[in-house]
Chains A and B, each alone.
Chain A
Amino acid sequence: MTYGDTVAVDGLDLEVARGTVTAVLGPNGAGKTTTLETCEGYRRAQAGRVRVLGLDPQAQRGALLPRIGVMLQSGGAWSGVRAVEMLRHVASLHAHPLDVGLLVERLGLEECGRTPYRRLSGGQQQRLGLAMAVVGRPELVFVDEPTAGMDPQMRRATWQLLQEMRADGVTVVLTTHYMDEAERLADTVHVIDHGRLIATGSPFELTRGTGTSTIRLVVTEPFPPDAPESLRAALGGATDVRPLNPQSLLITGPADASTLATVSAWCQAHGVLPESLSLGQRTLEDVFLQITGRELTS
């Protein structure tokens, strides 16, 4: 898929198993929304083959749409429509909609039920968007950045809702650039960047399957320029050292107590004072950083 000269999605090959939660993870501009909108029938793939529930999203749109739920990244309601009025309207287009009152309660929309859409906060608009996507009791929901702009409490409520939907047999495909969201919710994570698939697996496979862990080293003063190379030499061949910013480094590789000791000794030898030295399992963020050399969120 290209926009002008920009290639948004390039040779992406993804498969989603029914009844699972799949996260498409990537930074802004990675091609997540384009991928989703191609599956939803909004865009025609310029090459390749797309099937959703066995249907062609373009040629068989009429058969596909009643079976899926779509949450857009933003907008999607009249500016003057009241929140619950909008939800009831979308519900009335479906044969067996969920109880609107239940969804309103679950997503905390009572507080703004009679508020016109244009006066809803960003988080309230997100919640209404999610409610509109699921109210028709779809087999498959596509949710684009479901928790962007939500407060932590509503974020957890949204995660719980999506987990419950999965338990009840709904297939969920979500895009996100939050690693914790993907790690918490997804059975399968597809990491994409520049429209290409760069890693696929369960959060466990992606973060722990390789047997490596990470050490984040934060120091009080900026590192000397050759610090990554020098530290890599001190730690030995299997270790990867990347600068995160002038005062922190990410060390990836087989780590044990002696690794920490080596890092401490290196700090002392180079006259830098560690502010924190944290040993942890790799996160999806680390995976992304390691593959692309860039931070997921900037």
Chain B
Amino acid sequence: MSLDKLDHRGTFTPAPGAAPLSRMVAAQTRMETRLLLRNGEQLLLAVVIPLIVLVGGILAARHFELPLDGRPVDLLTPGVLALAVMSTSFTSLAIATGFERRYGVLKRLGSSPLPRSGLLAGKVGALLVVEAAQLVVLGGAGLLLGWSPEVTAAGLLGALLVVLCATAAFASLGLLLAGTLRAEATLAAANLVYLLLLAGGAVVLPASAYGGVGGSLTWLPSGALGEGMRTALVDGAFPGVDVLVLVVWAVAGTVLTARTFRWE
């Protein structure tokens, strides 16, 4: 304070400038993660529904003696992990971003030193943190229920790549919704698409369970994500085709979003 006075500096003497990009992105990631975890509906989507699907699926398979190719828990756990990735990177992100547009958060941050690329990096960072937490909780629940994945290097690398590429693909599609529709419409559409893909998108259940249409479902991002996780963790193989399909969706989604996204 005394030094300040000697310099004739006041409290508000300008000293503008952006923080280093890495610090801004880290701050944005922390903030977005906290907000994602604070929201009750998001937690429901991220953890509770996948847990119900996992436990319910195992019980149903046992009760109805479903003709599954392998132990239910081994087949369902990778699918539920896939569902968790989809719920966070698509539905949660779309809803959160839709309301950020509505409440002027994107506008406000648009006049802060944080560049748009930094904002996006913060969002992706938050998605990956939440997904890691989901992986621990849901994978842990699977292990408790007797899940024994086929652990190979190719499979683990494959699963990691599938998660990353699916996150990119679904995030770009979620932002496509959030950047063009009103917040309420985004909320409705993101939930509807999630339910449709949960039921008919070959995420939790293998594509082979859908009969004749099963083959075409693997071209959907949901099918590629689910099948990729099963190929990697049930068969221990590298899901090359699924990764490729997800990359194509990610590129297409990103191009479309970049052209249509409205910040206000």
Does A associate with B in a complex? Answer: yes
Binding site for B on A (CB under 8 A): 40-42, 62, 65-68, 70, 72, 74-81, 85, 89-90, 92-96, 98, 102, 132, 134, 136-139, 164-165, 167-170
Asked if A94 and B17 make an inter-chain contact with CB atoms under 8 angstroms apart, the answer reads yes
B107 interface residue, CB < 8 Å from A? Answer: yes
**Closest partner residue, chain A, to B118 (CB atom):** A93
Residues of A within 8 A of B11 (CB): 98, 102, 164, 168
Given contacts A76-B107, A79-B99, 11 further A-B contacts (CB under 8 A): A67-B16, A75-B105, A76-B104, A78-B35, A90-B112, A94-B19, A132-B108, A134-B12, A137-B12, A138-B14, A169-B10
Residues of A within 8 A of B115 (CB): 62
Asked if B103 and A77 make an inter-chain contact with CB atoms under 8 angstroms apart, the answer reads yes
Asked if B103 and A94 make an inter-chain contact with CB atoms under 8 angstroms apart, the answer reads no
B18 interface residue, CB < 8 Å from A? Answer: yes
> Are A95 and B18 also in contact (CB < 8 A) when A89-B27, A90-B112 are?
yes
> Are A92 and B16 also in contact (CB < 8 A) when A80-B39, A167-B10 are?
no
Asked if B35 and A80 make an inter-chain contact with CB atoms under 8 angstroms apart, the answer reads yes
Give 25 CB contacts A-B under 8 Å: A42-B110, A62-B115, A65-B111, A65-B113, A68-B111, A72-B107, A75-B103, A77-B104, A78-B99, A81-B31, A89-B27, A93-B24, A93-B113, A94-B17, A96-B16, A98-B11, A132-B108, A136-B17, A137-B16, A139-B14, A164-B11, A165-B12, A167-B10, A168-B9, A168-B14
Total contacting residues, chain B, CB less than 8 A: 33
From A65, A74, A98, give the contact of B12 (CB < 8 A): A98
Binding site for A on B (CB under 8 A): 9-19, 23-24, 27-28, 31, 35, 38-39, 99-100, 103-105, 107-108, 110-115, 264
Residues of B within 8 A of A94 (CB): 16-19, 113
Query: Roughly how many angstroms separate A137 CA and B18 CA in the complex, as a whole number?
Result: 11
